[in-house]
Chain A
Amino acid sequence: MSSVPKVPENLRDVFMSLLPAHQALFRNVLVGLFFSVALLPSTASSLLREELNTIAVYEKVSSSVVNVVTTTVLYDFFYRPVPQEGAGSGVILSADGTIVTNYHVVRGAKAIEVRLADGSRWPAEVVGTAPEDDLAVIRIQAEGRDLVPISLGDSDALEVGQKIYALGNPFGLGQTLTAGHVSQLKRSIRDQGRVLEDLIQVDAAINPGNSGGALVDSQGRLVGINTAILSPTGTNVGIGFAIPVNRVKAAVPGMTSWWNKYLGYILAGLLAYWIWKRIARLR
């Protein structure tokens, strides 16, 4: 039998009896309390509420965004192989090491290396790709590390003017946070003959290397994957595009499922079987 601390039954009565006699005092205390609570954050750290929010977002999200370094092999004039490094970003989706990035980041890569926010490096393999959405899923086996998956938001609830933050690895510089607003929703852009639809347009600084990085809202939830920019110079001019997270949510299960790897073989087998039947019938 555990003893429960007993509340005196007349406590409430005692409290209420205080009220009429000292109502004015009580109100003053209440008002004072309210103001001191409201002013507390600003006096404690001298940072604005918005800054505190941004700092909190960075601290929440930064360990979930990784740098992706790829090695592709190009051939020079004499057809000698020349290894070339490319930089991109990625977002950790689950604690088992599943990372989503852009397809154009890992396209043609001979080797992929993932650098976590703590500086450690891990080799990664491509699990699945969705070129039509410019998405790819890679996986690392990071033993002894607690990978922090990012929390997913809802990109359908986005509004133009909302504050957003982009995290990534521009020009391979390393973890970089930039801030901006949603400029427009449901944009379509044409990129190398392929049309990407229903994108989020933002004015946060997004540069080459930010590709595959996280676009998060002011609560630190993933709302998009930074993918492309519109620019005559190839660098940021204030027009960046991100794939909405709802598309990522829809595409990732298909990319990570076990049969995805064999889908092509299965379809090719069916086709071969069908052709074989036709030939057999003709004979």
Chain B
Amino acid sequence: MNRWRKRWWMGVVTAACLLALACPQARALTEDEKNNIELYRQLSPGVVNITSTVLERDFFFNIVPRQGAGSGSIISEEGYILTNHHVIEDARKLEVTLANGKKYAAKFIGSDPNTDIAVIKIDAPKKDLVVIPMGSSRDLKVGQKVLAIGNPFGLGQTLTTGIISSVGRTLRSPGGALVEDVIQTDASINPGNSGGPLIDSSGKMIGVNTAIFSPTGANVGIGFAIPVDTVKQVVRELIEKGYYGYPWLGATLMTLFPDFAEALQLSVNRGAMIVEVVPGGPADKAGLRGGHARAQVGNYVLIVGGDVIVGIDGEPVDSADDLMRALRRYRPGNRVRLDVVHWEGDRDRVTVILGERPRRYRYR
């Protein structure tokens, strides 16, 4: 009897030990940790390291190859990879290393310096390609958890986590253009993370890590990502055409400030004044006119005589930046109605068919 009881106890103890061994992790981890681990296991194979080789000349004018590292995310089963323009800029050779260590030479598909987005392609078997699904960056909330996977300082497949610090910031891209609704995060983003995905807690890409704000060059807790809604728009055209067409008015604009307007005795005091129209451009075709005379107001020399744009499709325009921002919502070929005040003082409504920004202007 005693022996049976002993055996029974032994059985219980063994079972307890086995249980304890089998699921210590499941018990010890918090919901947050489990989520992180699950997402990393799921999505890290979809993040690639990109090594670009740029040819440079050294002091003696010898050609020297220099290598740079960046990150990218696989966005389709055909092998398209999303990364930053500044990662692949001027590259002579692009090499992509998948998470499983396999290396592929990549083909350049297209890039847009204004939003700092580029697409490259590799020919890899489908089973090696894990696609990172794209989410939406519209309803992001400050405080939400984000994960960044990338290749900081060439240390591949690094996971960092943080939260969204703010949304709706405007960032100036290396191309000089403004990228709007940029996501700011405190997840560690360092050189080499560029081009990698920023992922939310449900495993969807919400941004492309692009830049950091740092006086030292390394992470200080302020990183920026291009919102995925912008990315989706641009990537589609990059794959189709190799470049992203921007709407183009074909006019050089200047902000009309109230004191200028007062000095020039105009009937409006705010708006975007046309300095010059490109001959044959959309604005020219629609009959908009540029300036023809010089006037000095204070320390400024202005070219005056052009039309002043005060509204676009019923929305008021207060400055040249306002108009540029509004135009970005349209696509080449769209019609916009501009409310215009002519130099003589009469108001008019002009319909302009937007063109596509010519290639030589594309880098502006």
Listed in ascending order, the chain A residues whose CB lies under 8 Å from chain B are 46-51, 54-59, 62, 165, 170-171, 173-179, 204-207, 233-237
Closest residue of A by beta carbon distance from B32: A50
The distance in angstroms between the C-alpha atoms of A175 and B142, with both chains bound, is 10
Establish whether residues A51 and B184, one from each chain, have CB atoms under 8 Å apart when the complex forms.
Answer: no
Q: Which residues of A contact B31 (CB under 8 A)?
A: 48-50
Give the nearest-CB partner of A42 in chain B. Answer: B31
**Which B residues, 154 to 185, have Cβ-Cβ distances below 8 Å to chain A?**
162-166, 169, 184
On chain B, the residues within 8 Å of A234 by CB distance are 215-216
**When the two chains form their complex, are residues B143 and A233 in contact, meaning their CB atoms are under 8 A apart?**
no
Say how far A181's CB is from chain B's closest CB, in angstroms: 12
Check: B245 CB closer than 8 A to any chain A CB: no
Q: When the two chains form their complex, are residues A176 and B222 in contact, meaning their CB atoms are under 8 A apart?
A: yes
Residues of chain A lying within 8 A (CB to CB) of residue B221 = 170, 178, 204-207, 236
Binary interface profile of B, 203-228, with partner A (CB < 8 Å = 1, else 0)? 00000000001111000111000000
- Cβ of B141 within 8 Å of any chain A Cβ, yes or no, is yes
Once the chains are docked, how many angstroms separate the CA of A51 from the CA of B162?
A: 11
Which residues of the other chain, B, contact A62 by a CB distance below 8 angstroms?
142
By a CB distance below 8 angstroms, the chain A residues around B165 are 176-178
User: Contact check: which of A50, A178, A233 meets B216 at CB < 8 Å?
Assistant: A233
Chain A: which residue is nearest B163 at the CB level? A179
The size bracket of the interface on B is: 20 to 34
Bound CA span A205–B215, Å: 14
> B144: CB under 8 A from chain A?
yes
- Chain A's nearest CB lies how many Å from the CB of B114? 22
- Within 8 Å CB of A48, what residues of B? 31-32, 35, 145, 201
The reply to whether the CB of B186 lies closer than 8 angstroms to some CB of chain A is yes
Cβ contacts under 8 Å, B144 to chain A:
47, 51, 54-55
Query: Could you tell me if A173 and B169 are in contact, using CB atoms closer than 8 angstroms?
Result: yes
| Complex Cα gap A173–B167 (Å) | 12
Q: Which residue of A lies closest to B35 (CB)?
A: A48
Rounded to whole angstroms, the CA-CA distance of A175 and B285 in the bound complex is: 45
Q: Which residues of chain A are near B252, meaning CB under 8 Å?
A: none
In the complex formed, the residue of B with least CB distance to A232 is: B216
Instruction: Tell me the bound Cα distance from A236 to B222 in angstroms.
Output: 9
Distance from B217 Cβ to chain A, minimum over Cβ atoms (Å)? 9
- A70 to B: closest C-beta gap in Å: 20
Q: Please determine whether A173 and B142 come into contact, CB atoms closer than 8 angstroms.
A: no
- Known A-B contacts A178-B165, A236-B220; A50 and B186 likewise in contact (beta carbons under 8 Å): no
Q: Quick one: which of B145, B201, B220 contacts A207, CB cutoff 8 A?
A: B220
In the bound complex, CA of A235 to CA of B218 (Å): 10
Is residue B14 contacting chain A, with contact meaning CB distance below 8 A?
no
